[in-house]
Amino acid sequence: MTDPTSFVFPPEAEKILTDFTKLIVLRIIKPDKLVPAMVRYVILKLGEEFVTPPPFDLAAIYKDSSSITPLIFVLSPGSDPMKALETFKDTKKRNLRSVSLGKGQGIKAENHIKESLKCGDWVVLQNCHLASAWLGTLEKICEDLRETGSDLTKCHRDFRLWLTSYPTDEFPVSVLQNGVKMTNEAPKGLKNNLMNSFSVSPISLPEFFHGNTSPVKFKKLIFGLLFFHAVI
């Protein structure tokens, strides 16, 4: 079966065109085929790992953070990091205080941060792009964190500030520059969707995946369900 995203060149063109010049020709006569052709070109020259998004690993990201470093989820359509964060905070045995920012939620967010600084809880501020008027206050809070971070009487070493936001020009540049930035794009394609589903809790947990009395039937059911989910 022919790949609908591919473009087949005539034999005469195959003789004179290189892999790169084929991209130039596609850019001129079939621009809708250019992106998949570029993906195949990168796979051919560098390897498939350069076009396959790495697994979303909160544990590795957490190692790069500190009590004075905000962790920023840059959201994309179809992605929601909250479930992964809820699972991760259980492994770290931390309490998570969540605020969905919007009108009138800034004061609540500030109170959560002040209380969590003392006890070492985590605070997640969701949808920062919806609170543009409050982002200046957020910038001031992050500046104060950097100034007092070495003083454990003011900032508990286990405290973490998590932020989620869609890309917006109003997000404070200093917070972006000093924060740990990450994104979790929704998987594209059948294979990536299946791999993503198999890598999330509870399916990724060995005690869940292997801990049943009918492993063969169970794994077939799991695969069928995830395959249906990926297709949808």
**Tokens standing for residue 172:** 């404070």
Per-residue burial over 208-222, b if 16 or more Cβ lie within 10 Å, else e, is: eeeeeeeeeeeeeeb
Q: Calculate the dihedral angle through the C-alpha atoms of 49, 51, 56, 57, rounding to the nearest 10 degrees.
A: 30
Give 1's pLDDT tier (boundaries 50, 70, 90).
very low
Q: Which domain holds residue 138?
A: 58-183
- Are residues 196 and 126 part of one domain? no
Whether residue 154 is predicted with pLDDT greater than 90 in this model: the reply is no
| Band of residue 149 on the pLDDT scale cut at 50, 70, 90 | low
Instruction: Specify the pLDDT at position 80.
Output: 76
Res 38: pLDDT: 93
Residue 144 falls within a domain, yes or no? yes
Count of structural domains within the chain: 3
Q: Which two tokens stand for residue 37?
A: 């052709």
45 and 74 part of one domain:
no
pLDDT tens per residue, range 163-207? 999 888 889 899 989 888 888 776 777 888 888 788 777 787 888
Asked if residue 176 and residue 69 are part of one domain, the reply reads yes
Inside any domain, residue 68: yes
pTM for the whole structure: 0.68
DSSP 213: S
- Alpha-carbon distance of 36 to 93, in angstroms, equals 43
Say yes or no: 74 and 94 in one domain: yes
Claim to verify: residue 135 and residue 90 sit in the same structural domain? yes
Q: Are residues 146 and 204 in the same domain?
A: no
Q: What is the mean pLDDT of the chain?
A: 85
The string of pLDDT tens digits covering residues 12-42 is 888 899 999 999 999 999 899 999 899 999 9
Does a structural domain hold residue 1?
Answer: no
Instruction: Please list the helix, strand and coil fractions of the chain in percent, rounded to the nearest 5, in that order.
Output: 50, 10, 40
Q: In whole angstroms, what is the distance from residue 118 CA to residue 87 CA?
A: 23
Query: Could you tell me the CATH number of the domain that includes residue 171?
Result: 3.40.50.300
Answer yes or no: do 106 and 178 share one domain: yes
pLDDT for the residue 151: 62
Q: Is the pLDDT of residue 6 over 80?
A: no
Domain assignment of residue 6, yes or no: no
Tokens of 89: 């905070």
pLDDT at residue 5, rounded to an integer: 61
pLDDT of 228 higher than 90: yes
Q: What is the mean pLDDT of residues 95-107?
A: 87
Are residues 45 and 62 both part of a single domain?
A: no
CB 35 within 8 A of CB 139: no
Give residue 153's pLDDT: 60
Q: 63-79 pLDDT, tens per residue? A: 888 888 899 998 877 67
Shared domain check, 24 and 72: no
Domain assignment present for residue 131? The answer is yes
Helices (H), the chain: 11-16, 19-29, 34-45, 58-63, 82-91, 106-119, 135-148, 173-178, 190-198, 206-209, 215-231
Residue 4, in any domain of the structure: no
Same-domain pairing of 174 and 227: no
Predicted pLDDT of residue 97: 92
